[in-house]
Amino acid sequence: MPTIGPMELVVILVILLLLFGAKKLPELAKGVGTSAKELKKAMRDEPESTEKKSETKS
């Protein structure tokens, strides 16, 4: 599987800057960060809830 190098990241950032503009980019990054944080929290909480469900079925 190919990896993303520094040059590819620069190209992606330039494209994002052209598409969304300099004013929208920080808002977009904040939204992505918040979403990633919530996803990690949900993934961390999920095993606990499935364990509780399996205990109640027994």
* pLDDT band per the 50, 70, 90 thresholds, residue 1: confident
Tell me: the pLDDT tens digits for 21-48? 888 888 988 999 999 999 999 988 876 6
pTM score of the predicted model: 0.52
38-41 long-range CB contacts below 8 Å, 24 or more apart?
none
- Has residue 57 got a pLDDT over 70? no
- Residue 50 tokens read as 């499935």
Tell me the C-alpha distance between 6 and 12, whole Å.
10
pLDDT at 30: 93
What is the C-alpha separation between 10 and 16, in angstroms, rounded?
Answer: 10
Q: Which residues lie below 8 Å from residue 17, measured CB to CB, with a gap of 6+?
A: 25
